Amino acid sequence: MTSSAMQQLYQQIILDHAKSANGAVAELAALDADAATAASAAGVRLAQSHQVNTTCGDEITVRVGLSGTGADARIDEFAWRGAGCSISMASASVLNDTVRGTTVAESEAMLDLFREMLRSRGTIEPDEEVLGDAAAFAGVSKYPARVKCAMLPWVAFEAALLQLAEPA
Amino acid sequence: MTFVAPPPAPARDPSDQTPSDHAQTDQPLTDRSGSDLTLSSDEVLRIRNDFPVLHQLVNGHPLAYLDSGATSQNPISVMEAEQEYYEQRNAAVHRGAHTLAFAATEVFEAARATVAAFVGAAENEIVWTSNATEGVNLVSYAFSNASLGLGGPAATRFRLGTGDEIVVTEMEHHSNLIPWQQLALRTGATLRFIPVRADGTLDMTAAGEILNPRTRLLAVTHASNVVGTINPIDDLVAMAHAVDALVFLDACQSAPHLALDLTALGVDFAVFSGHKMLGPTGIGVLYGKAELLAAMPPFLTGGSMITTVDMQGAEFLAPPQRFEAGTQRISQAIALASAVDYLSHTGMHRIRTREAELGRRLVEGVTAIPGVRLLGPGLGVERIGLAAVDVAGVHAHDVGQFLDEAGIAVRVGHHCAQPLHKKLGVTASTRASTYLYTTDDEVDRFLAVLAEVAPFFGVSR
Ligand SMILES: Cc1ncc(COP(=O)(O)O)c(C=O)c1O
């Protein structure tokens, strides 16, 4: 009975990312002073955020490391660890591929596009050129209950970046 | 047990008989002739006609509602009982001397009598709450208040402190766990638990060691909302009472599905929720043995629970009013009594047998699907009509989405039992749960679509 609606939601790209889980690590201990000091000696500022989707219990921890400052600050390190549905896990994998190595400004622009697409209830036709694999989540926007799943890693990423925001 | 007859309804056209009229005159709602031991498939189809919500398409498929363990559906007679109350008798109960207030009080108390009889209790042992969770909190805060010295010498047996132990089980719903955790934190008592074995049943050997003279209270569920088993309450009551501990029963998953006799079970307290037994939301029941309720200090205080008040203090009413502060959930209580009438007329023994059949069908079906693991014991152990499963390699949320697309409504997640899921080695599961209106065909549809899940997500070998 595998309906086309299911194939629209669970696109092959999503199922593949859920399996490959790019950027996932087996352990992600809480950031302590030692880790932060070691990183800063290497010129990297680290932050980490843990998010839970209380409706289903999905969890994710995202760690980012920035090098450089201001407009040039770049996402040098990215790692995540999580447990959850294929939508949230695939989204974390895509997030890794999307933001690793980009500048903070670029990644924030992607985040805005991704969120706008997911909130569109299927009305926004994503630009694959810009969004890449993240465009595959357009189908999720028709399932309001699943938008949270797709957003979970991005919200964790956003929260981690916020911790590293420089005073204006 | 006396049944307070409701006042005669205003004259109506006799052809305008509604099921709620029948309920009040104690006649069968629909023809339930034949005293078979179970519900025949014809009977199930007739029952379904009383439930409008079941007759709809979801995502282009007939709805298969397999989430009654979370909340059940309401028959027309229940909705009509609530509407009739608002149309004909709505007034504040237990106050006022006008005719309507008197009529409202009578039907409200008649509802209490109906529910009391349904669970083998006396009327003054039934306290209305908004749901089971509130009932657990009511008792845990009454213990707290007693521990602060409220309730005087009569309340000694509810007083907890350092050295006292509260025992729960590893399979409790969060609603029968967190209030006791909090009570332990407030009083200095220790919280202990009876572990669950690998097959999802209670470790009764461990229970024998954990229950000891320091145990003051055992809180345990009657039937599990995850593994579907019915716990040996007789044995647990005997063990707890042997060490002078009180027994608090979570009857949320038993009151709707089997003939419950709380007096015969011998438990000291019990709670259940109306919305899981064909009733509306917003109404639940706390049962307490008469002598215990009489000795217990109140939790919520204010209007409607006092005898005399001055600026320094107040005297409280006897139970159950002592525990029913403020304006009550009158229409919901009346609707719950109508739901109980519906269940009684159908026959709780037959419902239990029918649901055991559905439970078996679920278990046989899910265990035949490669990569699907049943949580809890397999065939040979009676279960309510409920089965939770883990599909290897596919998260429960994705399983639920896939089933929903086929019109099949199930519960996914940890079902408010995180410790139990952890013990069974999963974070979430997919749960199908039945009721008297569930057909074999709905169970079979669930099983057929469940078998497609792993291949779709690419985890079949
Ligand atoms: C075993 C059990 N206990 C307690 C509850 C809580 O019931 P309610 O949310 O109606 O208070 C439920 C329902 O989810 C349950 O299944």
**Greatest distance between any 2 Cα atoms in chain A:** 57
pLDDT average, residue stretch A48-64: 90
3-state helix, strand, coil in chain A (%, to 5): 55, 20, 25
pLDDT, tens only, B64-86: 999 999 999 999 999 999 999 99
- Report the predicted TM-score, pTM, of the whole model to 2 decimal places: 0.89
pLDDT average, residue stretch B45-59: 97
Task: Quickly state the pLDDT bin for B302 (edges 50, 70, 90).
Answer: very high
Check pocket membership of B215 for ligand 1, CB cut-off 6 A.
no
CA of B198 to the centre of ligand 1 (A): 23
* pLDDT score, position A1: 46
Domain coordinates in residue numbering, chain A: 4-163
On whether residue B177 sits in a domain, the answer given is yes
Pairwise CB contact (< 8 Å): B398 & A85: yes
In angstroms, the Cα distances linking B48 to B42, B64, B172, B385, B409 are 10, 12, 31, 17, 16
Mean predicted lDDT score pLDDT of chain B? 92
Q: What percentage of chain A carries pLDDT values higher than 70?
A: 98
* pLDDT score, position B18: 39
CB atoms within 10 A of CB B45: 12
* pLDDT score, position B29: 44
Shortest distance between the Cα of B413 and any Cα of chain A, in A, equals 5
Phi, then psi, of A153 in degrees rounded to 5: -65, -35
More confident residue, B24 or B188: B188
Task: Quickly state the pLDDT bin for B21 (edges 50, 70, 90).
Answer: very low
Task: Quickly state the pLDDT bin for B24 (edges 50, 70, 90).
Answer: very low
Nearest residue (CA) to ligand 1, atom 14:
B70
More confident residue, B375 or A54: B375
* In contact, A157 and A149? CB cutoff 8 Å: no
Burial B12-21 (b: 16+ CB within 10 A, else e): eeeeeeebbb
Which of B398, B428, B449 has the CB atom closest to A86's CB atom?
B398
Q: What percentage of chain B carries pLDDT values higher than 70?
A: 92
The question of whether B416 is a catalytic residue gets the answer yes
pLDDT average, residue stretch A77-103: 95
Q: By C-alpha distance, which of B385, B380, B365, B368 is closest to B38?
A: B385
More confident residue, A104 or B5: A104
ipTM for this prediction: 0.86
* In contact, B69 and B255? CB cutoff 8 Å: no
* pLDDT score, position B9: 39
- Number of residues that make up chain B: 461
* pLDDT score, position A168: 66
* pLDDT score, position B35: 53
In angstroms, the Cα distances linking B210 to A87, B171, B240, B300, B328 are 43, 16, 10, 32, 39
Q: Does A8 reach chain B within 8 Å, measured CB to CB?
A: no
Task: Quickly state the pLDDT bin for A37 (edges 50, 70, 90).
Answer: confident
The distance from CA B209 to its chain's CA centroid, rounded to whole angstroms, is 29
Task: Evaluate if residue B157 carries a pLDDT over 90.
Answer: yes
> How far is residue A137's CA from residue A88's CA, in Å, rounded to a whole number?
10
User: Across the beta sheet with B269-273, what order do the strands follow?
Assistant: B126-129, B284-288, B269-273, B246-250, B215-221, B165-169, B190-194
Q: Is A133 exposed, middle or buried (0-12, 13-18, 19+ CB in 10 A)?
A: buried
* pLDDT score, position B25: 38
* In contact, B192 and B203? CB cutoff 8 Å: no
Q: By C-alpha distance, which of B173, B248, B241 is closest to B218?
A: B248
The fold of the A4-163 domain, in CATH, is Sufe protein. Chain: A (3.90.1010)
Which of A2, A15, A56 has the CB atom closest to B412's CB atom?
A56
- The domain total for chain B is 1
Task: Evaluate if residue B287 carries a pLDDT over 60.
Answer: yes
Mean predicted lDDT score pLDDT of chain A? 90
Find the helix or strand (DSSP H, E) in which B439 lies.
Answer: none
Where in the sequence is the domain holding B157, given as residue range(s)?
Answer: 99-343
Task: Quickly state the pLDDT bin for B17 (edges 50, 70, 90).
Answer: very low
Q: CA angle, B57 as apex, B438 and B77 as ends, to 5°?
A: 55
Check pocket membership of B331 for ligand 1, CB cut-off 6 A.
no
What CATH number is attached to the domain comprising B312?
3.40.640.10
On whether residue B248 sits in a domain, the answer given is yes
More confident residue, B247 or B414: B247
Task: Evaluate if residue A58 carries a pLDDT over 60.
Answer: yes
* pLDDT score, position A42: 80
Q: Does A149 reach chain B within 8 Å, measured CB to CB?
A: yes
Task: Evaluate if residue B34 carries a pLDDT over 50.
Answer: no
